[in-house]
Structure formats: C-alpha cells, structure tokens
Chains A and B, each alone.
Chain A
Amino acid sequence: MMGREPQDDVIVVDDLVREFGDFTAVDHMSFRVHEGEVFGLLGPNGAGKSTTIRMLCTLLRPTGGHARIAGYDVVRQASQVRQHIGLVAEKLILYDRLTARENLRLFGKLNHLPEQVIDERADYWLDRLQMTRWQDHLAGTFSTGMKQRINIARALLNMPRVLFLDEPTLGLDPQTTRSIREFIMELHKQGMTIILTTHMMAEAEMLCDRVGIVDHGKMVALDTPGGLKRLVSDNGRLVLELEISNLSESMVRDLQALPEVASIDHESATSLRLHAQPGEGGSTEVLSRVIAAIHADGGRILRLSTVEPTLEDVFLKLTGRAMRDEASEKVAPRRGHWRRAATRVR
C-alpha cells in the first residue's frame, strides 16, 4: 500500500481550506488516497469531515487549496469529477414517494446510462444488498437500514472509481451496521476506492487501510490503524487489566512499589487497571513481576489481560481530549452563519 507512485493516487488533496465566514471548517488539509484503498476520516462532530467530503464531491467550493479526483480538478473540471464519483451523504439521497427501483432508474438516467444497463446494474446491486424483494415498494415505507441499502445501491449505479461514504452506519441498528460494514469490506476486496468518514474508532479500525484523524478542520495524524496505535504503544506504555477475587489494599500498595509501575486505577472492588513503563526486560518482565507480586500476597487472579491501545487512545493522546464525550451529543448539521456559534460542538 505504501510507497506507491503518485500517479496511482486517485485522490490528491492539497492544502484544502474551507471557511464559513470567519470560521475555518477545513484548515489546510492535505492527503492522498491510492487506488483501491479504503481511507478513513475520523474525527468528532464538527471536525470538518463532511465539509471535506462535500468539497471533493463538487458540492461545495473550497476557499483555498486544490483537490483532484481521478486526475480532474474538483473546481475547474467538476463535471468530469462527477462522472467518477458516488456519494452516500449524511442525508439519504432517496425519494420517499418513488419505489426502490424507480429511485435507481432516476439516478441511472441522470448519469446517462442506457435503460438496459440501469436495469442490469440495479438487479445486480439490489441482489447483493438483499433488497430485490423490496424493489417495487415505495422507499418511504422502508426502515432506515433498508433505505441506506438502496442509497448505497444508488451511489454504486454508475460504477464510480471513488465511493464516498459519509458516516454510512450512523443511526443503524447493530445488525444492519454489521452487514453494511461487511458490504464495504467486500467492495474493498473487489478493489474499489472508498473514502469513509466516521466518528467511531472501531469502524475506522475495522474498515480502513489508512486513517486520517481530523480535529478542528486539521488532519492531526495520518497512518494505518496499526501505525497510529503504535504512536501510543511505541512510547512503551503497557496497560494491564486485572481481576483479583481477594483484592486488598496491601496488594495494591505492593504493586505500586514495583519500579516499572507508573499508576494504578481502581476500577471496582475486584478489578484494577495498571499502567506500567517496561524496563530493559520489556513487557514480559513486567508481567512476571506483577504476577509474582500478587502471588506473594496470596492473591487469586481471575483474569489478566493486556489492553491494546485503540484509536480512541490515539485521539486522546493527539488532542488531549477524549473523543467519546463529544461524539455522544450529535447535533443536526446546521447551515447559516448566524446560528453557527450556538450550535458548533467542539
């Protein structure tokens, strides 16, 4: 994946800026996406993910910088760009009073596909998304999950070189979320280039080859999920979770006394979280010392696990803020500058 030639990059974003009045939603962002890659934009609400996507989809004019999709400039060659992209936006692009198939036919025609081709492709995608039996029902009668499937089929109808997915699993139940994610993985296997935004760490970790972490309109880190995690763990920190049935104060004190142990969080009466800084012996050394210390105090270990750093930890480390707290209060996207100050969640 790494070290490719620049001409392989389907998406080239160069110093992209978008301002709304005196507010900068996207702040000098640069990145490249290779052909066949699933690229994640991860960030809390209001980070500027959607704004970036909308600029790449020619729906929003950048106030600075450049972007190219499949070699075409998103501003000067917008109509060529449009031929190569598919978009699953934050809001459903679907007409409630048209049936699933009518919706597909409409957008197929707007993409200048012959009717026969539209029908073949519609059949194909409806089948793959398990929506064939619902094709003649009005989209308005569908559940959110069903709507999203048709919405995805619509975006794929013109066989785009680049598929943009802006929070594709937002508001879906766990089961639908899983099947949509599996579908994205299938598309990935078949070589489609996908840009995906999410504020869910797990999703980015599961689906993306590379992840750009976006905060306040800036890309604060860009690497593979593993690489990003190493940002945290390579620092040498080791996190252990322990469950001890007869956990006592003296046991905690003894653990604390170990030279490698940095801090201990009491999680409950029987469990604790231990942060350690391995010495020359590495993590193995730390593990055996910890276990020995507990045994010396007659402790019975029910569970011991090393805690892998997540992207969440990465975000915390990079921005100094936890991401989950902010992501929990999702606000409706607002336009109009006068309400901006009141509704922006940062």
Chain B
Amino acid sequence: MSEVLGASKGRELAASGLEDRRHGGGRQAVADAWVIAWKDILDFTRDRMRLISFVIMPIFMMVMTGYIFPNQNSLQNMPLAVVNQDQGPLSRMIVDALNKMTLPAGGGQARQGMAALGEAGPGKTASRSRSGNPVFRIQPAGSLAEAKELIKSGQANGAVFIPRDFTRQVGQGKQPHLVVVTDQANLQISSMLSSVLDQFLGAMATQVGAQKVAPLLAARETAPGPRASAGASGDGGSAGAVPGEGLLQMMAGAMQQAYGGLGAGGLQRARATVQPFVVRIEGIVPGPPNYFQFMAPGIMAMVVVMAVMMGLAGAISREREIGTLDGILIAPINRLSIIIGKTISQSLRGLVQGAVVLILAILLFHVKVYGSIAWVAGLLLLGIFSFVGLGILISAFATEQETAMTILMTLQFPMMFLSGAFFPVQQMPTFMQGLSKLVPLTYAIDGLRKVIILGAGWSAIQTEVLVLTGFGLAMLLVAIPAFNRVITR
C-alpha cells in the first residue's frame, strides 16, 4: 500500500490509518450515527430557505388554526333576526335580554359574563356599556319566512321565532315552541349561535323556575305585594291565571320583579333573588384561550411528527436520488447507524419545531402548560419514535424524493383528522373512533393533552407511553430489515 503514495510522507499516512480500520461494536455504531446526525444538522442549518420554512411552518399552522376557528371576535354583533309575534311580557323580556347580552370588551382570559337577566329592565341600558360588546345585533322581522330570507341573504346569522300567544301558553303550562333558526351553510357560527341560545333559554327557564321561591320569600317579608301586582301587571295571558298554581305564578313573580312598581327596597330584594341565576358563557362557548388549550397539543404533535416523517423519508430518498447515500453505504459502518443518525437529526429538528409551537401557543394564545415540560418533550419524542419505522419504510421503497413525499402526503391527510388533532375523537362515529385507535398520533396527542391541559403525570399517561413505544418498536422491527434489504437491491 505504501508505494501508492511514493513519498515518505505518504507512507507514514498510510501506515497510521491501518490501525483504525476496525469497525463494529455498539459504541462505534452510535459514534457513526452521531457523525451522520452532525452532517445532517450542519447541512440543514446552512439552507436558509429550509431554515425559514422550518420556523414559519409551525407559526403559520398555529396562527391559521388560531384564527380560522371561532373566537371571541365572531361572537360580537352577530346579526340575529327576531320574529316576535307574541305580545306578552315574557317574549318582550327574551328579546330584551338577547339585545343586552354582552361579552367583556378585553380579550384576555375568558371572563365572559352575560348580562344578568335580572337587569333586563327598562331604563337599565347603562349596564351595556359596563359589560362590553353586545353579542347580537337584533334585526326585527315580521314573519319566519322573512327571517329566513334575512339569513339567506346573509343579513342575519340566525333567527329566533317567538310564536303568537307564547306568554299565554307558557302560563297555561302548554310548552309552546320557540324556534331557533340556524344557518346550515355557516356551521361554525350556527353551532355557536345555537349553543348561546340554548344556554340563554335554558338559563331563562331555570330562572323562571327559581322564581317559584321568590314570591314565597317576598310574601313572607312584604305581605301581599307580589300577588297584588301580579294581577295588575299581568296583561293578556296572565290575567286568567289561578294563583298559587304552576308556571303562571312563577311568571307573575318574574314579571313583577322586572317591571313591577316595587319600592327601592323591594327591587333590591328582587335583585338578590335573581342574581344567583346570572348566566355566564365562560367555559362553554368556545373562546380562543380554551379552544387553543385543546388545539395546541394536537398541532404540536402533528407538526412535529409530520416534520420528522417528512424529514426522515425525504432525507434518505433525497440522498439516494442525488447519489450521496452511496458514499455513506460504502463506508464500513453499520446500516443501523444510518437510521439512528438520520433519526437523531430529524428528532432534534422536530423537538425544536415543537418548542416553537409551544412557545407561540403560550405567547400568542395564552395556552398554559399545567403538567411538566419534560413529559411534553418525552411524549413528543415517543410520538416521533412511533413513526420512525414508517418513515424509514417509505424511504426504503421510494427511490425518489418525490415518491416519498407523495406517499407521506397521502398518509398525512387522514391522520390529521383521525388523530383528533383538530376535532375531538369522541365526536366521531364509532367506526372512525376505532380507526383513530390505529393511528399512533392519536395517543401522542391524547397524552400531550393530558399533560398540558390536565397537568397529568406518569400515572395518567402510562397507556399512551406504552402504546407509543409498542407501535415504534413494531414498526422498526419491520422497517430495519426491509431497509437493509431494499437499500442494496
């Protein structure tokens, strides 16, 4: 060999290298893996375009999902058509309360309170400015058909229809129908609208029920006041009521407190009885902070797992395509080192990307991590691990980068939805729920949600950890032999 170099310098060089030709051994394999990982990272950090898209992608993802999904802004000034064919006080009260329903002006943590129904009295408009922006902008309409036209033309997001004799029928215990019309073409808004109205009307019913108590209390303290004014104020429906019986009495109490000519002391007491039934939207209507708390773990897991899969399959098939993989393959190193090295570099990238998502979620969307960051990182790594095999399998069979990317894209789409990253798995049909159990991403996201939202620790995420590890091992058991076979076809 020494004659190759001729010069004595060359002879020295050749001799010094002979010692180091040995290879094999676990430690050597890991060292080789690091060399490959180091190369990948160096290569990556020098690609400015990739570096930019690497940071931009999660930001884009976060901001998009943060703003396309319903948030507080869409809960303001929603045009709502109201058809009130009833002339009774109950319907007027409902309309009035809808009119006055507000959200707090500031974004921040959800403190959305809905104006108290009890304050829904005439001359109390001051309360509106105190509480912030109105939820609804009421568009009076003459008939249901007219209201539907308003929805169709986009002038209203929904409609509330109060039929003729509503108040009286309530009084007679006949359970009249109050119709809420939603716009099916605008699912997000209409689901929000119906949930707001549901709560509102439900709360109203509760309150009306609770009024049962109020007259009793009032009767004890101020003698016949309520009963007398019930007769006076109750026009129409309440006139023919039998005192002390059913709904009518409750209604009477409500009417009296809202409109009745009670003295200052009486009003105060009435408020006190009503106040416990103030309706709050908080935590039920999807406001951004809460919704994001739910979304962030899903997005994080998805971004990271997808980035790593793409990176892994893409990097190997790319190196294959441009020919540099041959250089690695003819080096006297274990094939496993190639897989490990690529996995290390991609996982590091994935973790950094996950951190970008999490930091954005915390800064921009006020997400709070209740559990430990270490578990978040751990679950992300396990999520990555569960997909490494698949990535390698794809790269082994796809000889061109383009093919690998196409396969990945095809997998990514159903996985996005099956994993519950955007929509809770529990809302899916049973069949789909079963399918989602086959996607390891589901477990990664579940685990992350438990840690981030519920502050869960090891005991609560055992299943997820075990399933992810199992998935990962099983995939690798298939992928590594396949890779070794296919790569030198």
Residues of chain A whose beta carbon lies under 8 Å from any beta carbon of chain B? 57-61, 79-80, 82-83, 85, 87, 89-95, 97-98, 102, 106-107, 109-114, 117, 120-121, 124, 138, 154, 158-159, 161, 187, 189-192, 335-336
* Complex contact B43–A97 (CB within 8 A): yes
On whether the beta carbons of A82 and B13 are closer than 8 Å, the reply is no
**What are some 9 contacts across the A-B interface (CB < 8 A)?**
A85-B330, A87-B327, A94-B324, A98-B39, A102-B42, A110-B327, A154-B327, A190-B6, A336-B399
Binding site secondary structure of chain B: helix
- Give the complex CA separation of A61 and B489 in angstroms: 6
**Contacting residue for A110 out of B17, B32, B42, B399, CB 8 A:** B32
B465 in the interface, Cβ–Cβ < 8 Å?
no
Q: Which residues of A contact B331 (CB under 8 A)?
A: 82, 107, 110-111
Residue numbers in B under 8 Å from A57 (CB-CB): 326, 330
Closest to A186 in B: B6
- In the complex, whether B223 has a CB less than 8 A from a CB of chain A is no
Top 10 nearest A-B pairs (CB, nearest first) are A91-B323, A93-B327, A110-B331, A97-B46, A191-B3, A82-B332, A109-B35, A97-B43, A83-B332, A190-B4
- Cβ-defined contact, B28 with A117, below 8 A: no
The answer for the CA separation of A187 and B3 in the assembled complex, in Å, is 10
Cα distance A154–B327 in the bound complex, in angstroms:
9
Asked if B39 and A187 make an inter-chain contact with CB atoms under 8 angstroms apart, the answer reads no
Residues in chain A near residue B35, CB distance under 8 A: 106, 109-110
B46 / chain A contacts, CB cutoff of 8 Å: 97-98, 138
Q: Is B328's CB under 8 angstroms from A110's CB?
A: yes
Which residue from chain B places its CB closest to the CB of A91 in the assembled complex? B323
- B42 adjacent to A159 (CB under 8 Å): no
A48 CB to nearest B CB, Å: 16
Contact B489 A191 (CB under 8 A): no
Q: Is the CB of A112 within 8 A of B28?
A: yes
Q: How far is the CB of A24 from chain B (nearest CB, A)?
A: 15
Among B29-78, those with CB < 8 Å from A are 32, 35-36, 39, 42-43, 46-47
CB under 8 Å from chain A, chain B span 332-368: 332-333
Q: Closest residue of chain A to B9, judged by CB? A: A124
**Which of B19-27, B113-121, B209-217, B283-291 faces chain A?**
B19-27
Tell me the minimal C-beta distance from A6 to chain B in angstroms: 20
Residues of B within 8 A of A85 (CB): 330
Number of chain B residues whose Cβ lies closer than 8 Å to a Cβ of chain A = 39
Within the complex, the shortest CB–CB distance from B320 to chain A, in Å, comes to 9
Residues of B within 8 A of A187 (CB): 4
**Given A93, A109, A159, which contacts B4 in the complex, CB threshold below 8 Å?**
A159
Q: Tell whether, in the assembled complex, residue B326 and residue A190 are in contact, meaning their CB atoms are under 8 Å apart.
A: no
Q: Are A58's CB and B330's CB within 8 A?
A: yes
Q: How far is the CB of B382 from chain A (nearest CB, A)?
A: 29
Instruction: Verify B323–A89 contact, CB threshold 8 A.
Output: yes
Say how far B20's CB is from chain A's closest CB, in angstroms: 5
Query: Shortest beta-carbon distance, A257 to chain B, in Å?
Result: 59
A76 to nearest B CB, angstroms?
A: 13
Complex alpha-carbon distance, A159 and B47, angstroms: 32
Closest partner residue, chain B, to A151 (CB atom): B327
Q: Shortest beta-carbon distance, B337 to chain A, in Å?
A: 9
B414 within 8 A of partner (CB): no
A79: chain B residues at CB < 8 Å are: 23-24, 332
Cross-chain contact A107 with B326 (CB below 8 angstroms): no
Nearest Cβ on chain A to B327's Cβ, whole angstroms: 3
With most chain B CB atoms within 10 A of its CB, the pick from A94, A106, A191 is: A106
Which residue of the partner chain, among A58, A87, A113, contacts B20 with CB atoms under 8 Å?
A113
- The yes or no answer to B187 lying at the interface (CB within 8 A) is no
**Smallest distance from the beta carbon of A84 to chain B beta carbons, Å?**
9
Residues of B in contact with A (beta carbons under 8 Å apart): 1, 3-6, 9-10, 13-14, 16-17, 20-24, 28, 32, 35-36, 39, 42-43, 46-47, 322-324, 326-333, 399, 488-489
> In the complex, which residues of chain B have a beta carbon less than 8 angstroms from the beta carbon of A89?
323, 326-327
Asked if B399 contacts A159 (CB within 8 A), the reply is no
| Chain A residues positioned under 8 Å from B489 (CB to CB) | 60-61
**Bound Cα distance from A92 to B24, whole angstroms:** 27
Q: Shortest Cβ distance from B322 into chain A, in angstroms? A: 6
Q: Beyond A82-B330, A110-B32, is A95–B1 a contact (Cβ under 8 Å)?
A: no
Closest approach, in angstroms, between the C-beta of A124 and any C-beta of chain B?
6
Kindly identify which residue among B9, B17, B326, B488 contacts A87, using a CB–CB cutoff of 8 Å: B326
Nearest-neighbour CB distance to chain A for B3, whole angstroms, equals 4
Known interface pairs A109-B35, A112-B22, A112-B28. Does A98 touch B42 (Cβ–Cβ under 8 Å)? yes
Q: Give the distance in Å from the alpha carbon of A57 to the alpha carbon of B327 in the complex.
A: 10
Measured CA separation A93–B325 after assembly (Å): 8
Contacts of A94 in B (CB 8 A): 324, 327
Given A106-B35, A161-B1, check contact A95 B324 (CB 8 Å).
yes
Q: State whether A110 and B333 are in contact (beta carbons under 8 Å apart), knowing that A117-B17, A121-B17 are contacts in the complex.
A: yes
Whole-angstrom CA separation of A102 from B13 in the bound complex: 19
Nearest CB on B from A42, distance (A): 22
The chain A residue sitting closest to B324, CB to CB, is A93
Least distance between A7 CB and chain B CB atoms (Å): 16
**Smallest CB–CB gap between A129 and chain B, Å?**
14
B1 A159 Cβ-Cβ under 8 A? yes
Chain B residues near A98 (CB-CB < 8 A): 39, 42-43, 46
Which among B14, B28, B32, B329 has the highest number of chain A CB atoms within 10 Å? B329
Q: Which residue of B lies closest to A87 (CB)?
A: B330
A308: min CB distance to chain B, Å: 33
Q: Which residues from B are CB-within-8-Å of A154?
A: 327
Q: How far is the CA of A95 from the CA of B46 in the complex (A)?
A: 11
Complex partner residue of A117 from B9, B20, B43, B324, CB under 8 angstroms = B20
Q: State A97–B39 Cα separation when bound (angstroms).
A: 10
A137 CB, nearest partner CB in chain B, Å: 12
What separation, in Å, do the CA atoms of A111 and B22 have in the docked complex?
Answer: 9
Select one of A97, A110, A120 contacting B47, CB under 8 A: A97
Min Cβ gap A338→B in Å is: 12
Per the bound structure, the CA–CA distance linking A29 and B6 in Å amounts to 34
A residues near B323, Cβ cutoff 8 Å? 89-93
CA distance A94 to B32 in the complex (A): 18
By beta carbon, the residue of chain A nearest B329 is A59
Interchain CA distance A92-B4 in the complex, whole Å:
24
Chain A residue contacts of B326, Cβ below 8 A = 57, 59, 87, 89, 91, 93
Q: Contacts of A190 on B, CB cut-off 8 Å?
A: 3-6, 10
B10 touches A95 (CB 8 A): no
Q: CB distance B324 to A124 under 8 Å?
A: no
Inter-chain contacts of B16 with A (CB < 8 A): 114, 117, 120
Nearest-Cβ distance from residue A159 to partner chain B, whole angstroms: 5
B4, B23, B488, most chain A CB atoms within 10 A: B4
| Cα distance A158–B20 in the bound complex, in angstroms | 10
Q: Are A120 and B13 in contact (CB under 8 A)?
A: yes
**Minimal beta-carbon separation of B345 from chain A (angstroms):** 13
Q: How far is the CB of A186 from chain B (nearest CB, A)?
A: 9
Docked complex Cα distance between A94 and B322 (Å): 9
Judging by beta carbons under 8 Å apart, are A114 and B13 in contact? no
- Other-chain contact of A158, B17, B24, B322, B324 (Cβ < 8 Å): B17
* Contact residues in B for A61 (Cβ distance below 8 Å): 488-489
- Cα A91 to Cα B1 with chains together (Å): 27
Report the bound CA distance from A312 to B317 in whole Å. Answer: 38
Cα distance A91–B326 in the bound complex, in angstroms: 9
Q: Are B488 and A95 in contact (CB under 8 A)?
A: no
- Interchain CA distance A5-B327 in the complex, whole Å: 33
Q: Which residues of B contact A97 (CB under 8 A)?
A: 42-43, 46-47
Q: How far is B324's CA from A87's CA once the two chains are assembled, in angstroms?
A: 11
Q: Which residues of A contact B43 (CB under 8 A)?
A: 95, 97-98
